[in-house]
Chains A and B, each alone.
Chain A
Amino acid sequence: MSGVISSSLARKFVMALSGLFLVIFLVLHVTINLASVISPEFFNEASHFMGYNPIVQYAMQPILILGVIVHFVMGFVLEYQNRAARGVSYAKYQGSANAPWVSRNMIYSGLVVLAFLGLHFYDFWVHEMVYKYVEAKPEDPTRYYAETVEKFAPFWRTVLYVVSFVLLSLHLWHGFQSSFQSMGVNNKYTSGIKTFTKLFAVLVPLAFAFIAVYHHLNPITH
């Protein structure tokens, strides 16, 4: 790790690779979530598989958590070093004249996403850990849909989720295409990568937000 920390280019690779890994995870996540709107039965099946498959639980989940930790810890390291590299601040600095807002404020959009992850882990991951290991309740492949819909009953939680998805969109808008540049890809495919990034950065968070709002507006009536 000291080798990784010691080179500015290696730090860029680590940010790019961990970021792209998290982007791939988002695709998987949004796909399963969309099932909760289309088919509660399939959503239950998929959620149960993710929750009890040993490869998912003991290999993919720890790698995912590691990916998240590496990405935000490295983000903080970069931010600290970058602020130190300026030294004395400018009395007047027109950052907007030469770089888009999203690219200059990744730390802030990232911090919101990180805070959201805290809430999200508390809402679902901690809940699962308690269910499985603390209360040691039996497997129930039919519980996931109702639990998810119930989570979005409070208005405040739905709003927090939607706001976080807007910030996630801004973070992806710069971060996704930027990771290719960090890994040395800047060629005839770059304009295509940038277009795909914009579509991805809008559509994926929009889908997440839609799912949260949909469940808020369509509670299960007993």
Chain B
Amino acid sequence: MKLFLKIWRQKNASTKGKMMEYTLEGIESDMSFLEMLDVLNEDLIARGEEPVEFDHDCREGICGTCSLMINGRPHGPDSRITVCQLHMRSFNDGDTIVIEPWRAKAFPVIKDLIVDRTAFDRIQQAGGYISVNTSGRPVDANAIPIEKDAADASFNAATCIGCGACVAACKNASAMLFTSAKVSQFALLPQGQVEAADRVLNMVRQMDLEGFGNCTNTGACEVECPKGISLENIARMNREYLAASVKG
């Protein structure tokens, strides 16, 4: 396959970036998208040029590290996968592929296609936990009876890998799907009830402080989420927030 790539290049956070064009030949359809970028980088290094920086880690769709906007869609054209699971068979010979970093004020570009997603860490730290006494004889979590539906819904919310595709896809760069998944995974379980009110208030406050946009219920996040996190989580967070606000 012969491909024409348009890639965002930016030296560091303080410099202005621009789109650069590259032509790549000899790409196999069985290669993964990241392997295609590896080939490009080997070419660039051989030519004495700076390779394209991009985030990746597990390359099996579970770590949430890879984060590329490909032809205007987070993680590319296929659904329910991350970039590392995207293969070149999803493209055709002669295609032009536009590759950009996630775009959000709360996700500043560090270099090229790598963005700083520590805003998500700070939201999580603001309340995405339960306080458990780990000394002495803690109660085994499995000993607490939990309704099957609630356990399943909590687990589904917990499958969020924090990749940021929801923010990247949203026209408002809103982080509601991520934050609501992290609120929901605890809100649905008995262990999460004690700190429920503070959790939702603090996590939403941190989300707003980071500069993410407001949700307008377009549903783009749900469609682009590689883990299929549902909009029901956002509604649940809204309920939790309303209840916590009324409670004071």
Contact = CB atoms under 8 A, between A and B. Distances in A.
Chain A, interface SS category = helix
Contacts of B237: 9
A103 B216 contact: yes
A90 B236 contact: no
Interface range, B side: 35 or more
Given A90-B72, A92-B71, A98 B214 contact: no
B152 to A, nearest CB: 16
Given A9-B241, A82-B173, A91 B98 contact: yes
B125 interface: no
Given A12-B215, A78-B216, A99-B223, A85 B173 contact: yes
Given A85-B213, A98-B169, A92 B72 contact: yes
B213 A181 contact: no
Best-surrounded residue of B6, B215, B236, B237 (most CB of chain A within 10 A)? B215
Contact residues on A (Cβ < 8 Å of other chain), bracket: 35 or more
B66 interface: no
Given A86-B213, A92-B100, A184 B220 contact: no
A86 B105 contact: yes
A72 B124 CA distance: 33
8 contacts: A7-B205, A82-B174, A85-B213, A92-B98, A98-B218, A98-B224, A100-B219, A186-B231
Interface of B: 6, 8, 19, 69, 71-73, 98, 100, 103-106, 169, 171-174, 176, 204-205, 207-208, 211-220, 223-224, 231-232, 234-242, 245
Interface of A: 6-13, 78, 81-82, 84-95, 97-100, 103-104, 106, 174, 178, 181-187
